[in-house]
Structure 1
Amino acid sequence: MHRAALTPFAFLCLMVGAAGAHAQPDEVPAAAEPAEKIASLVVYGDDPCPRSSADEIVVCGREPESERYRVPKRFRGKKAEPAQESWSNTVRQLEWVSRAGTPNSCSPVGSGGATGCYRMFIDQARAERRQARQDAAGVP
């Protein structure tokens, strides 16, 4: 009688099938008592805190009246993300970045770069003269 040899793959399939046949489904635990409801509220100024009931606990935090209509502290002072920035600001930044080589850009690349450098020096000289006049006018 000739016995067929099991390949490693066939042996693995037999083992997985046997393990699955003996597996028990997870039992659902018995329904426990419902957890207590807890409401956490912020009240402003002299507003009353709602009363707790038999099935709900109410916890109140009090803030001054001046904070009622303000943006919450955790959101104040955050820098705007690119997705929240206006499109006109994005276009302005892209124009500034891609400006190299265009006329009045003060760039060594392109045909109009030298005119931009000359214009920048003129603007700087005018600003220095304006500041010197203001300083001289302020001296008694």
Structure 2
Amino acid sequence: MSKLSLTLTAAVLAIPALAPVAPAQAQSGAKISEIIVYGTDPCPRSTDDEVVVCARKPEAERYRIPEKLRTTGSLQSRQSWANRAIALETYGKNGINSCSPVGPGGFTGCNQQIIAQAFNERGEQNQADTAPEE
């Protein structure tokens, strides 16, 4: 027998060994319930027809938004449309206190804009560093 035919024969014989084995629970047709319990709440008991799997979380998490639904990212990405609209009101403004290269005194608003941005960033940083209240 050639090496190629031996390799092919070994590969064909190994295929059934690679087939995934179904879990015993899935074969029996039992239903799985995944439940989150908080604090010292009891976990419901499993029955013959149902397997109950409990995940225990601290009491402080009971009324919080679930982790997968909590927004992440910078405050700018989570900012309300009302706050974004305020920023859009001044877009295209020119003249005194506008921080634009157009019109007389257009540069005069640039320092004020930088100061306001620094205050906003400092407030966001303080808010991010503060632990949530329980």
Structure of higher CA gyration radius: 1
| TM-score normalised by the chain length of structure 2 | 0.49
| TM-score normalised by the chain length of structure 1 | 0.47
Q: Which has the higher helix share?
A: 2
